[in-house]
A and B are shown apart, each in its own frame.
Chain A
Amino acid sequence: MRAYQRKLDIKNGCVDLSHGSGGRAMAQLISGLFHEAFGNEWLARGNDQSAFDVGDGRMVMTTDGYVVSPLFFPGGDIGSLAVHGTVNDIAMAGARPLYLSASFIIEEGFRFCDLKTIAESMGEAARVAGVHIITGDTKVVERGKADGLFISTAGVGVVPDGLDLSAENARVGDRVLISGTLGDHGVAIMSKRQNLTFETEIVSDSAPLNDLVAEMVEAGGRGIRLMRDPTRGGLAATLNEIAHQSGLGFHLIEERIPVKPGVAAACELLGLDPLHVANEGKLVAIVAPDVAGAVLAAMRGHRLGRDAADIGEAVADDHHFVQMATSFGGGRIVDWLSGEQLPRIC
């Protein structure tokens, strides 16, 4: 006779400290909620770890933490964000993402229904991206110690031999390509922040880029020097990082940088520069000039790269400045954002 096990009250119940203590309650939470949502053969075996084959090529590994607030925002939630972000970090190496781990730190009192929504969102995001969440962990902390939910991930993937994307590959004359409009994610998040209260139709661009990357690699091969996704700090932070790491400078053309009118308007209203605002479904690629045209065409042919653009080039510059020709033809520097204007964008 099977022992009676009360079903998880998803609708009305919430997480309490017993769910993190390693006992039956926790096991029930994990199988009833997470395994249900992530549904795969590894998790079904119920071990603390999972083994997998990798095949040919080199392994790529990444890790990330997600502390976004609010947890639910237009275009996604902390769960889908966590999957997309991890997948993208692997994809930026030109690698194929394969497996993810997900570790949850949950504040006591967190509602089951919210946790279920987030878990299902992660499962769906993983399915669309073609990856599996094969291992995880759950901890519960006291009220006030975790602001709802924090998710930490690790991801592994495989990069084909011969492809070694890195900042030091960049050369003078390389083109700077971006995959689409800037600032969507940051503006979508800010629109839901209590102290800002503005209404907009802007939706986060959170999306998995591995498929787009595969097409780009197909078109450009080793002509692709490196790729990065401009998350916190926006394009400005990413290009400044690359400038310092590669020892070069950049010249950008403001008119070519695509920004949605609603994002531009929200940024004007708040006094922000779209170049400093976070993106979660965009990438920057530094590519050799002879393949730039082909790579750009491949990007534009993909649904996540319709607004892709060539926005400038790498130049020799001992000071590693990121310079930009303004819409007036005057010059300005695009610098890192100083300080953190709004904490916890992603």
Chain B
Amino acid sequence: MKYADEFRDKAIALGLAKTIEAETDPGRPYRFMEFCGGHTHAISRYGLEDLLPKNVRMIHGPGCPVCVLPAGRIDMAIRLAERPDVILCVYGDLMRVPGSQGASLLKAKARGADIRMVYSTIDAVRIAEENAGREIVFFAIGFETTTPPTAVMIRLAEKKQLENFSVFCNHVLTPPAMQNILESPDIRKIGRIEIDGFVGPAHVSTIIGTAPYEFFAEEFGKPVVIAGFEPLDMMQAILMLVRQVNENRHEVENQYSRAVTCGGNLRAKEEVSDIFELRAQFEWRGLGQVPYSGLKLKRTYAKYDAEVRFGMSELRVDDNPACECGAILRGVKKPVDCKLFGTVCTPETPMGSCMVSSEGACAAHWTYGRFRDHQQRRAS
């Protein structure tokens, strides 16, 4: 695979690992938060943490849009799907996200709700065209990467003059969430956890560009390096962060220059700003209400807004009190610190957001990191 295989070269990776080791100061820790589920996944899949020196620690941030979707929104979607006239179209990852009391879209489907997995928003439009007598609703989630496809889909529905189509919008924004983490008492006031730098998301950045991160670098004095998805991209980004920390710099650097520019994708940004506007606040599972972090459809597009079209009432559900997702998402705790991890909460029976998607911190640790705990325990 071109532009993928070259960035997975083992020899270069091992060389980079040595360079990182040579440049880290053994007397201090380097704690970097990666903000993108794809990065969490890449670290796990390639076992990158095994290649890094012990004093370089990767903290998994809330970069997984499936994981941060509140249970209440799932309940709302299930209620919608249970209407006999509705066909609910969802991305596959959503099927097993737990709503309240163990409910999920998968279980609702087993009980008869017409819920269909789609790979792309284009499929949802096609389903709407093929089922003129039914109401097709697309369950939209995702960060800035996935929002432009939803915008294009609404544009297409408008062009085709579809009367049976709407979107249940749960799109969220990356910078406000990053800010929420950095401003949380754990970090700002108590200083319980120090984050020395951020690995910026890969594909969110292809859309929004590098400019939005300048604010973080300045305001919080933390370096941000935007990294591609491949393991070599991540390692180079980590090296760049190490260097910034050593040199006391806090700049925005772009490692993923082959796909990310300063301004991002103008056309995509325009499509999004035409159709969506900010919600005053939006709940993130594990983080609570985050101001100006979520999107909804503009009033001119109300006919495509499922919440308006179906008069959906907001459902709020509290997470299990023992669930440590909030702390884990902010990097304050690790999956193993949560009482539910591995006992009540497993990939088969997820209790909270971090276990739900393979990109969540707990799911990633379960799949790839669990055996290390045992090795360490045996060693000590």
A residues sitting closer than 8 Å to B (CB atoms) are 195-197, 261, 264-265, 268, 270-271, 319, 321, 323, 325-333, 335, 338-339, 341
By a CB distance below 8 angstroms, the chain B residues around A264 are 1
B277 within 8 A of A: no
Interface stretch of the complex, out of B40-48, B279-287, B328-336: B40-48
13 A–B contacts from the bound complex (CB under 8 Å): A195-B116, A264-B1, A321-B371, A326-B45, A328-B10, A328-B47, A328-B48, A328-B50, A329-B14, A329-B47, A329-B50, A331-B50, A339-B96
Q: Tell me the minimal C-beta distance from A225 to chain B in angstroms.
A: 24
Q: Contact partner of A327 among B8, B118, B370, CB < 8 A? A: B8
Q: Mark B361-380, 1 if CB is under 8 A from A, else 0.
A: 00000111111101000000
CA distance A268 to B1 in the complex (A): 10
CA distance A268 to B5 in the complex (A): 12
By a CB distance below 8 angstroms, the chain A residues around B46 are 326-328, 330, 332
The residue among A195, A330, A333, A335 with the most chain B CB atoms within 10 A of its own CB is: A330
Q: Mark B324-366, 1 if CB is under 8 A from A, else 0.
A: 0000000000000000000000011000000000000000001
CA distance A339 to B355 in the complex (A): 13
Let me know if A330 and B49 touch, CB within 8 A: yes
By a CB distance below 8 angstroms, the chain A residues around B106 are 339
B residues sitting closer than 8 Å to A (CB atoms) are 1, 4, 8, 10, 13-14, 44-51, 92, 95-96, 106, 116-119, 123, 231, 347-348, 366-372, 374
Q: Tell me the minimal C-beta distance from B10 to chain A in angstroms.
A: 6
Q: Contact partner of B231 among A271, A325, A328, A341, CB < 8 A? A: A328
By a CB distance below 8 angstroms, the chain A residues around B118 are 195
Let me know if A195 and B119 touch, CB within 8 A: yes
Let me know if B367 and A319 touch, CB within 8 A: no
By a CB distance below 8 angstroms, the chain B residues around A323 are 371
CA distance A328 to B45 in the complex (A): 10
By a CB distance below 8 angstroms, the chain A residues around B95 are 339
Minimum CB distance partner of B367 in chain A: A335
The residue among B46, B96, B366, B372 with the most chain A CB atoms within 10 A of its own CB is: B46
Q: Tell me the minimal C-beta distance from B112 to chain A in angstroms.
A: 13
Q: Contact partner of B92 among A268, A338, A341, CB < 8 A? A: A341
Let me know if A196 and B119 touch, CB within 8 A: yes
By a CB distance below 8 angstroms, the chain A residues around B366 are 335
By a CB distance below 8 angstroms, the chain B residues around A321 are 370-371, 374
By a CB distance below 8 angstroms, the chain B residues around A327 are 8, 10, 46
Minimum CB distance partner of A265 in chain B: B1
CA distance A215 to B367 in the complex (A): 37
By a CB distance below 8 angstroms, the chain B residues around A338 are 96, 347-348
Minimum CB distance partner of A330 in chain B: B47
CA distance A331 to B44 in the complex (A): 8
CA distance A331 to B8 in the complex (A): 16
CA distance A308 to B54 in the complex (A): 38
Minimum CB distance partner of B350 in chain A: A338
Minimum CB distance partner of A319 in chain B: B374
CA distance A328 to B117 in the complex (A): 34
How many pairs of residues, A versus B, come closer than 8 Å at their CB atoms? 74
CA distance A329 to B17 in the complex (A): 12
Q: Tell me the minimal C-beta distance from A144 to chain B in angstroms.
A: 13
By a CB distance below 8 angstroms, the chain B residues around A319 are 371, 374
Let me know if A195 and B371 touch, CB within 8 A: no
Let me know if B47 and A326 touch, CB within 8 A: yes
Let me know if A195 and B49 touch, CB within 8 A: no
List the 10 closest pairs (A to B, CB-CB), nearest first.
A330-B47, A330-B50, A338-B347, A332-B368, A326-B47, A331-B47, A328-B46, A321-B371, A335-B367, A332-B47
By a CB distance below 8 angstroms, the chain A residues around B374 are 319, 321
CA distance A268 to B366 in the complex (A): 21
CA distance A264 to B119 in the complex (A): 18
Known contacts A265-B1, A268-B4, A327-B8: A333-B50 contact under CB 8 Å? no
Q: Tell me the minimal C-beta distance from A192 to chain B in angstroms.
A: 14
Q: Contact partner of B371 among A326, A328, A331, CB < 8 A? A: A331
Let me know if B347 and A333 touch, CB within 8 A: no
Q: Tell me the minimal C-beta distance from B89 to chain A in angstroms.
A: 9
CA distance A339 to B94 in the complex (A): 12
By a CB distance below 8 angstroms, the chain A residues around B347 are 335, 338
CA distance A141 to B95 in the complex (A): 30
By a CB distance below 8 angstroms, the chain A residues around B367 are 332-333, 335
CA distance A339 to B51 in the complex (A): 31
Q: Tell me the minimal C-beta distance from A278 to chain B in angstroms.
A: 17
By a CB distance below 8 angstroms, the chain B residues around A330 are 46-51
Q: Contact partner of A328 among B4, B13, B116, B123, CB < 8 A? A: B13
By a CB distance below 8 angstroms, the chain A residues around B123 are 195
Q: Tell me the minimal C-beta distance from A267 to chain B in angstroms.
A: 11
Known contacts A328-B231, A338-B96: A333-B48 contact under CB 8 Å? no
CA distance A312 to B8 in the complex (A): 22
CA distance A38 to B274 in the complex (A): 64
CA distance A339 to B117 in the complex (A): 14
Let me know if B117 and A195 touch, CB within 8 A: yes
Q: Tell me the minimal C-beta distance from A119 to chain B in angstroms.
A: 32
CA distance A18 to B119 in the complex (A): 41
Let me know if B348 and A332 touch, CB within 8 A: no
CA distance A99 to B204 in the complex (A): 58
Let me know if B96 and A332 touch, CB within 8 A: no
Minimum CB distance partner of A327 in chain B: B10
The residue among B47, B116, B118, B366 with the most chain A CB atoms within 10 A of its own CB is: B47
CA distance A335 to B367 in the complex (A): 6
Let me know if B44 and A332 touch, CB within 8 A: yes
Q: Tell me the minimal C-beta distance from A262 to chain B in angstroms.
A: 10
CA distance A323 to B367 in the complex (A): 10
The residue among A261, A328, A341 with the most chain B CB atoms within 10 A of its own CB is: A328
CA distance A236 to B49 in the complex (A): 23
By a CB distance below 8 angstroms, the chain B residues around A326 are 45-47
CA distance A319 to B118 in the complex (A): 37
By a CB distance below 8 angstroms, the chain B residues around A331 are 47, 50, 368, 371-372
Q: Contact partner of A339 among B13, B119, B348, B372, CB < 8 A? A: B348
Minimum CB distance partner of A322 in chain B: B371
Let me know if A333 and B348 touch, CB within 8 A: no
CA distance A317 to B118 in the complex (A): 40
Minimum CB distance partner of B372 in chain A: A331
CA distance A271 to B106 in the complex (A): 19
By a CB distance below 8 angstroms, the chain A residues around B1 are 261, 264-265, 268
